[in-house]
Structure 1
Amino acid sequence: MQDISLEQAIEVLLEHTKKIERTEEVPILEALGRVLAEDAVASFDNPPFDRSPLDGYTFASGRTKGATKENPASFAIIGEECAGDFFAEAVPAGSALRLMTGAAIPRGCDCVVRQEDVTIENGRLLVPYELHHHENYCFAGEDVKKGTLLVKKGTELTAAHLGVLASLGFGKVKVLARPRIAIASTGDELVLPGEPLQPGKIYNSNLYVLAGRLQEMGFRPEVLGILPDDVNEAAAFIDSWRGKVDLFLTTGGVSVGKKDIMHGVVKKIGTRLFWRVCIKPGAPVIAYTAGDMLGIALSGNPFASYATFELLVRQVLSKFSGRTDVCYTPVEGYLADKFPKPSYGRRFIRAHYADGVFKIPSQHDSGSLFSAAGCNALIDIPAGTGPLPAGSRVKGVLL
């Protein structure tokens, strides 16, 4: 397929993307944003015992019947219990136990009186009013009953989910494995940051943008560096990752120049799904399969590769991982600035979106990444649109 729409390209990619069914067990602190692979069910009541909701004293409420300030009920204080302690004995009739908020209420007691409401005289507790059965009393399982479904399979775990799971003793949880992703760039002109910059060379930024975006989304890519502009070497290298990764991303080598090697690479190792998507920037995208591995070769132009990653690859990542939060969000708003260029084909331009307003930077070249640093959206301009004045109503995607 060639020269297809963005929507068609996404559809083709998703047809060749299988949701990851592999699972792994991870510590609860590493589970944020992961997708739960099995139902999490409470194995005990929480709280696991009847407890006090306040600092005070506990006893049998029946002994306070008729108590007044002038004629208070009197109890012998036999000890105290803090949260985390456990008073194993039954409290005898006519006796009271001092206890703190969260402490377990012992046998023989059915209420708690506030510490501020009582007085102590000669080691005895004086209660100036009646208390009733289960007054100021928290029951075992008041928060969660044993057997309760805490978090359903397929849920993207939030901080609140982690708190619920931790409160029921889950030290680890079973989650879907992350998709295995590899990233490489092609181009003999590229060098890695930190290396000397020779004449005619440029520093590679694409690896860092894509790896950074993947890490921001909670993925852990294999960053493989720069491949030579040699079809056989590049094909052998990419093919060596077959079976090891689910998605292989490359930048560069996708147009029609002498060193656009990815066409030849795909012929050697797999089956091409499409080439060229009707968008600007980043039109010359190649998608292919090599066995069970999906490959997406993006433009080498820095902003073009970034934009097509956002528009195409994020949809694939969402299906791989089962995470809806990975997809971009459609938005509409007004242009704060004019866009003076006509759009003969469908164009996406960088912008900053806030409160229904898109602000456009002055630089739009697909080879420039600098002006994208402060942007959080792409404006979607339909093919055949003329220059847009400030105030124009436009659609876009929030990144």
Structure 2
Amino acid sequence: MQDISLEQAISVLLEHTKKIEAVEEVPLLEALGCILAEDAVATFDNPPFDRSPLDGYAFAASGTKGAQKEVPASFRIIGEECAGDFFAQEVPEGAAVRLMTGAAIPKGCDCVVRQEDVTVQDDCILVPYELHHHENYCFAGEDVRKGTLAVKRGTELTAAHLGVLASLGLGMVKVRRRPRIAIASTGDELVLPGEPLRPGKIYNSNLYVLAGRLRELGFEPEVLGILPDDAAKAASFIAGWREKVDLFLTTGGVSVGKKDIMHEVVRCIGTRLFWRVCIKPGAPVIAYTAGDMLGIALSGNPFASYATFELLTRPVLAALAGRSDVAYRAAEGFLADAFPKPSYGRRFIRAHYADGVFSIPAQHDSGSLFSAAGCNALIDIPAGTEPLVAGTRVKGVLL
């Protein structure tokens, strides 16, 4: 099979990516980042009653006509109401009820005076100025009126949306099912951080990069650990997830070495879509399907797997979830530093982008992840490009 371009590879992947339309009902606290599957319409006014915006006293404003410091208006205190209480009786003229912030304004009252503005004398308050109808007064439905479309279907739920939905009394919400994603690494040379590093072994960083990036993008992957360099065992394991996940990501085993098992794994469990993409690093990517599951097998080199995850997997994630914010964005700018290597094929190099300038580190080896820390972009260098000097205008993608 002939190597294909990055754009062709993305196109093939998207042809085999089905936007998730299935709906599930989840607790509101678990809905952050989900796509709302139905309109949320207010079934009552919120707040559901007229309320006080401050600590003070409620009464009929007409009773303060002509009031001044020397001749204050007097109101008899007949009760007290905290937020959450309800003063059931109607307040007669000349009487007042002490209210705490958020408390319902009793019937017969149409204003609230600040607590600190009055003098309490025996069982009365003395008000030293006139108040007006609906002064210091919050109306029912001030936030959302009954029948209002509060959150529209298809909205990606933020913390503020959760607050709005909570204020409508919704403890459960219907959302589009989240993409189900599994990640694993292949390689007998790998051990997990925390284990002793025996001779010939290396710590597995790829799982942590991919799991971290997925979570940063709003997904919660199944992290399955390390698969052995045994094609039959790896194939059996991955096949067991065909009905459980939408996307299966692996790192390692994709080149032409003795233990590059993913070729045989794919032959056993599904259909290969492509192998090798015309980019550096990470060219030997394998894409495949196994039933309804899409699989992407990335390079085992740490930065290569990171870069190809960004370039190939993010478009798939955006399509699965119906979230355009997940897709990376294009950018143009100037190089702050020289890049001394010619690019015979299309190359992506790590960089930090700010204010129209790409700054690049000194280390660009595909096996090196250290220099990627702090980078937020990939510079796209076309095939056949000579070494680049500082000040060259370049294109890239923001991560």
| Corresponding residue number in structure 1 for 2:85 | 85
Q: Which residue of 2 aligns with 1:261?
A: 261
CA distance in 2, matches of 1:301, 1:260: 13
Structure 1 residue 70: Cα displacement: 4.8
1:272-317 residue CA offsets vs partner (Å, 9 max, x unmatched): 1111111110111111111101011111211111100011111111
Shift of 1:105: 0.8
Alignment correspondent of 2:51: 51
How many angstroms does 1:71 deviate by? 4.4
* Cα separation, partners in 2 of 1:118 and 1:239, compared to 1, 3 Å: closer
Shift of 1:368: 1.5
Q: How far did 1:139 drift? A: 0.8
Structure 1 residue 206, shift from structure 2 partner: 1.7
Unaligned runs of 5+ in 1: none
1:166 aligned counterpart, secondary structure? helix
**Greater shift after overlay, 365-374 or 320-329?**
320-329
Which segment drifts farther, 293-302 or 155-164?
155-164
Aligned equivalents of 2:234, 2:117: Cα separation in 1: 80
Tell me the CA shift for residue 383 of structure 1. Answer: 1.4
5 Å-filtered alignment, 1:329-340, equals 329-340=329-340
Task: Classify 1:233/1:79 alpha carbon distance in 2 versus 1 (closer, same or farther; 3 Å).
Answer: closer
Equivalence for 1:104: 104
User: Would you say 1:145 and 2:136 are equivalent positions?
Assistant: no
Tell me how far apart the structure 2 counterparts of residues 170 and 229 of structure 1 sit (CA, whole Å): 49
- 2:226 maps to 226
Q: Which amino acid in 2 is paired with 1:113?
A: V
Query: Bigger shift: 288-297 or 153-162?
Result: 153-162
Q: Distance in 2 between matches of 1:30 and 1:40?
A: 17
Displacement of 1:188 after TM fit? 3.1
Partner Cα separation in structure 2 for residue 205 and residue 16 of structure 1: 29
Cα 1:65–1:195 shift into 2, 3 Å: closer
TM value normalised by structure 2 = 0.93
1:10 match? 10
For 1:341 and 1:207, the matched residues in 2 are separated by 30
Task: Trace 1:191-210 onto structure 2 (pairs within 5 A).
Answer: 191-210=191-210
In the alignment, the residues of structure 1 paired with residue 195 and residue 267 of structure 2 have an alpha-carbon distance, to the nearest angstrom, of: 33
Equivalent in the alignment of 1:25: 25
SS at match of 1:74: strand
How far, CA to CA, are the matches of 1:94 and 1:175 in structure 2? 53
Give the aligned partner of residue 379 of structure 1.
Answer: 379
**C-alpha separation in 2, matches of 1:374 and 1:125:** 63
Output the CA distance in 1 between the equivalents of 2:69 and 2:133: 20
Task: Report the residue type matching 2:132 in the other structure.
Answer: H
Residue 308 of structure 1 aligns to a residue whose secondary structure is helix
Deviation at 1:69, TM superposition (A): 4.4
For residues 164 and 122 of structure 2, what CA distance do their matches in structure 1 show? 45
Name the counterpart of 1:391: 391
- Aligned-pair CA distance for 1:334: 1.8
| Residues 65 and 293 of structure 1, relative CA distance in 2, 3 Å threshold | same
Q: Cα gap change, 1:204/1:56 in structure 2, threshold over 3 Å: closer, same or farther?
A: closer
Give the secondary-structure state (helix, strand or coil) at the position aligned to 1:20: coil
Deviation sequence 1:294-346 (CA, Å, 0-9, x none): 01111121111110001111111111122233222222222121000111111
Distance in 2 (CA, whole Å) between partners of 1:201 and 1:118 is: 77
**CA distance in 1: counterparts of 2:223 and 2:101, whole angstroms:** 52
Other-structure match for 1:76 = 76
Matching residue's letter, 1:135: E
Decide whether aligned partners of structure 1 residues 239 and 122 sit closer, same or farther in structure 2, where only a CA change above 3 A counts.
closer
Letter of the aligned partner of 1:43 in structure 2? T
Q: Which runs of 5 or more structure 2 residues have no equivalent in the other structure?
A: none
How far residue 198 of structure 1 moved from its aligned partner, in angstroms, is: 4.2
Residues 229, 108 of structure 1: alpha-carbon distance in 2 compared, 3 angstrom cutoff = same
* Deviation at residue 68 of structure 1 after TM alignment: 4.4
- Give, as a single letter, the amino acid of the residue that structure 2 aligns with 1:395: K
Instruction: State how far apart, in whole Å, the 2-side matches of 1:100 and 1:371 are.
Output: 57
Task: Report what 1:179 is aligned to.
Answer: 179
Secondary structure of the 1:255 match is: coil
Partners of 2:223 and 2:53 in 1: CA distance? 53
Q: Supply the AA of the counterpart residue of 1:252.
A: G
Q: What is the aligned partner in structure 2 of residue 95 from structure 1?
A: 95
1:164 paired with 2:164, answer yes
Amino acid at match of 1:96: A
Q: 1:123 to 1:347 in 2, by over 3 A?
A: same
> How far has the Cα of 1:78 moved from its partner?
1.3
Residue 242 of structure 1, CA deviation: 1.3
Q: Which moved more, 1:192-201 or 1:145-154?
A: 192-201
The 3 A distance-change label for structure 1 pair 85 and 294 is same
Aligned to 2:322: 322
Aligned to 1:366, what secondary structure does the other structure show? coil
Percent identity among equivalent residues? 84
Shift of 1:17: 0.8
* Separation in 1, partners of 2:118, 2:186: 79
* CA deviation after TM superposition for structure 1 residue 118, in Å: 3.5
Per-residue deviation at 1:43? 2.4
- Residues 231-242 of structure 1 mapped to structure 2, 5 A cutoff: 231-242=231-242
Question: C-alpha deviations, 1:152-197, integer Å up to 9, x for none?
Answer: 1221111211222222223332322221212222233333334444
CA gap 1:271/1:74 in 2 versus in 1, 3 angstroms = same
Tell me how far 1:116 sits from its aligned partner. Answer: 4.0
2:370 is matched with 370
Instruction: Report SS of the residue matched to 1:96.
Output: strand
In 2, Cα distance between equivalents of 1:209 and 1:54: 50
